[in-house]
Amino acid sequence: MLQGVGINPSSLQRDDESQAFYREVVASRLNIFTSYGSGDEEYLQTLDEQIRVFDEIYVDTAPIIQKDWFLHFVADSKDILKRRKKRLIILEKTMEELYGLKSNPEKDQDVRIRAIIRPDLIRSLAKQRIVRLGDTGSGGIADDHLVELFRRIGANLNLMLITQDRGLSERIVHLATELGEECEEVKPLTFLEKLIGKKKEREVITHRMIACKLIEGGKLKRLYICPECSQSYYDDLYATEGIVLCGRCYIRLREEEERKELANRKRREAQLKAEEERQKKLEAEEERLERERNRLTIEKLILRRKQLAIFYSSIGVTILLLIIALLVSR
């Protein structure tokens, strides 16, 4: 089996990495790779939920030849796909790319060997109804066909793309957002419905479209795009939209919010303190005016008493003078 893919049996390496690669070649040739399955029940449950949600799961070229990760992924998803009656879809254009890689001298030997053994494995999986080979319908770049295919069917189907191509993944996420803004459609009323004046409710077309990559162990990581910095990043398979804040922007915005809250709190405290000072000044001014009013009232009372005393004194003097005048006249 090794000699059939260009590996000289007399020059086999004994290191762990080489032994793992030979094991991968034999497993692919025999189509027996149950030992590649994951024992992480929590991840398998998440994978089961994701496969259940999506109507079609497309696999690009790069994850098929990325080390032995594709074997791990198939081993984990094989039983789930059978139970859910789903299949991995690999386009004929992807198969053509694999055929081109196996004779590309610019690629490493392990990549060329995987390009040789993977098509046979894929055809074997197709016979087991684990994989379905899809026709792209025309020539050109496989990435462009995938985007156009997702644009055409993405409004009515939930789609997942597994690819190591970050640029392609970003195109799919942007496409999902674009379709999400156009997903509401209103079916026209029939002639009879128009005749009787019936109002037809809006029927909303819902969809999900995500892009993932394979990591070590064949596990899926989903691509998200941050709406703040427009940078893409990979994270776990959360049930959310593709445009999600990244960790850095989330922390930065939270810190900015905390700074704004602190500044608002200080401003409110300063305003409260200024209001307290103003109230104190008003109270002090009111007390001063009250004292002034009291002082003026006392002065007025004293003046009033002085005026009454003078008035009564003048009356008394007048009466006294009259009495004296009467006495003198006698």
- 220-251: per-residue pLDDT in tens? 999 999 988 889 999 988 777 888 888 888 88
Q: Give pLDDT, residue 204.
A: 42
Under a CB-based contact definition with an 8 Å cutoff, are residues 65 and 118 in contact? yes
116 and 60 in a common domain? yes
d(CA 177, CA 277): 54
124 and 103 in a common domain? yes
d(CA 193, CA 301): 95
130 and 100 in a common domain? yes
Q: Give pLDDT, residue 190.
A: 59
d(CA 41, CA 44): 5
225 and 133 in a common domain? yes
Q: Give pLDDT, residue 185.
A: 46
215 and 199 in a common domain? yes
Using the predicted structure, report yes or no on whether residue 199 has a pLDDT greater than 60.
no
* Domain finish residue from 192, 210, 245: 245
* Domain finish residue from 183, 214, 245: 245
Query: Can you say how many angstroms the Cα of residue 100 is from the centroid of all Cα atoms in its chain?
Result: 38
d(CA 148, CA 141): 11
Q: What is the mean pLDDT of residues 6-21?
A: 84
Structure tokens that stand for 265 in this block: 């709190």
Query: What H or E segment, with its residue span, contains residue 233?
Result: strand 232-235
Parent domain of 296: 247-330
Under a CB-based contact definition with an 8 Å cutoff, are residues 72 and 36 in contact? yes
167 and 122 in a common domain? yes
- Confidence grade of residue 103 (pLDDT, cut at 50, 70, 90): confident
Please count the structural domains in the chain. 2
Q: Give pLDDT, residue 201.
A: 45
270 and 327 in a common domain? yes
Q: Give pLDDT, residue 189.
A: 55
pLDDT in tens, 284-308: 888 888 887 777 777 787 888 888 8
Using the predicted structure, report yes or no on whether residue 184 has a pLDDT greater than 70.
no
Query: 101-115, 146-160, 199-213, 273-287: lowest mean pLDDT where?
Result: 199-213
90 and 199 in a common domain? yes
pLDDT in tens, 25-53: 888 888 888 889 888 888 888 889 888 88
Q: Give pLDDT, residue 205.
A: 42
pLDDT > 90 in the chain, percent: 32
227 and 268 in a common domain? no
Q: What is the CATH number of the domain that holds 163?
A: 3.40.50.1010
Structure tokens that stand for 123 in this block: 């055809």
Q: Give pLDDT, residue 186.
A: 45
Under a CB-based contact definition with an 8 Å cutoff, are residues 18 and 12 in contact? yes
Q: Give pLDDT, residue 134.
A: 81
302 and 209 in a common domain? no
260 and 161 in a common domain? no
Query: What H or E segment, with its residue span, contains residue 267?
Result: helix 247-329
pLDDT in tens, 135-158: 755 555 667 878 888 888 887 888
9 and 136 in a common domain? yes
Which is nearest to 176 in space by CA: 278, 123, 244?
244
- Confidence grade of residue 195 (pLDDT, cut at 50, 70, 90): low
Q: What is the mean pLDDT of residues 73-82?
A: 93
Mean pLDDT across the chain: 84
* Domain finish residue from 199, 215, 245: 245
Q: What is the mean pLDDT of residues 121-131?
A: 92
